[in-house]
Amino acid sequence: MFPPAVQEQKHRGTFAFPLEFHHVDKTHPRYHMPLHWHMDYELIRVLSGQLTLSLNTRSLVLTPGDVALVQEGVVHGGVPKDCVYQCIDMDLNEFLRGNVPDFAREGATVILDATFPQGSAEADTIDRLFDTVQTEGTGYAFLAQGLILQLVGLILQNHRYTSSGEREARSMRRVRQLKSALAFIRKRYAMPVTLEEIAHAAGMSPRYFCRFFSEMTGRTPIDYLNFYRVERACERLTYTGESVTEIALSCGFNDLSYFVKTFRRYKGTTPKQYRKGNAV
């Protein structure tokens, strides 16, 4: 469900039902949500613990019962704390089938509300959608589609969006620069990467880029690079039979002991212990 820190190209679900549901806890290889974006809409529901969700230049703290809506193209990532959460990724345009509201039109300059108050009609509809998709009862696909259309109607009816202005336009320029840096990291993470190269990809000097990247992500560029490498290693440890050494080398670490030390710093355990506890 969480793409590799760059724009994702995969299709959601099936052609007839373009939606995917994911239940995420500490055993999930992408428990920590790397920064990424995609051209689908994503709903997130927190069941327990806390999830700090970043959306472009904003940061939201979600607690049990909170739901969030991630608009297409928004750079987002999540830092969970003893958290269990669920995600629905959906191709909204396919569900709307030509009945496109203003906020979903190409070139639209509106920003949807990212969260809805608990007990609101929107939040209740999102809860029903999650419950419907999770249980997969008889006719659930039709019920889910109806709830998605109801949610869109409520967003329009209650004007849960704002028009973007000059301030948002400046913010989007910064987001585009961040996307360039993230795309470079995604493409080159398996190879030696320098701060100067990442900064160049964003069109900035290394000194200014470090401040910019930290403001946007809460991490230094090299810290994020190592974090991303470890996240990709977690996937390989879970889904492949490659040795720890092979995984270290394929994820940009040329020294096994440094890989183990870095992995432990982010995950609180060794790669071998992680594999043992997350075997599928």
pLDDT in tens, 34-57: 998 887 899 999 999 999 999 988
This prediction has a pTM of 0.77
Q: What is the CATH number of domain 7-163?
A: 2.60.120.10
Higher pLDDT, 6 or 193: 193
C-alpha distances in Å from residue 36, one per residue of 70, 84, 133, 211, 216: 11, 20, 24, 20, 13
| Banded model confidence at residue 109, pLDDT cuts 50, 70, 90 | low
CA gap 176, 174 in Å, rounded: 5
CA gap 200, 203 in Å, rounded: 5
Question: Residue type for 258, please?
Answer: Y
CATH classification (class only), 167-277:
mainly alpha
Domain boundaries, the chain: 7-163, 167-277
Burial tier of 264 (Cβ tally within 10 Å: 0-12, 13-18, 19+): middle
The Cβ-side half-sphere exposure at 155, using a 13 Å CA radius, reads 24
Higher pLDDT, 94 or 154: 154
Tell me the Cα Rg of the chain.
19
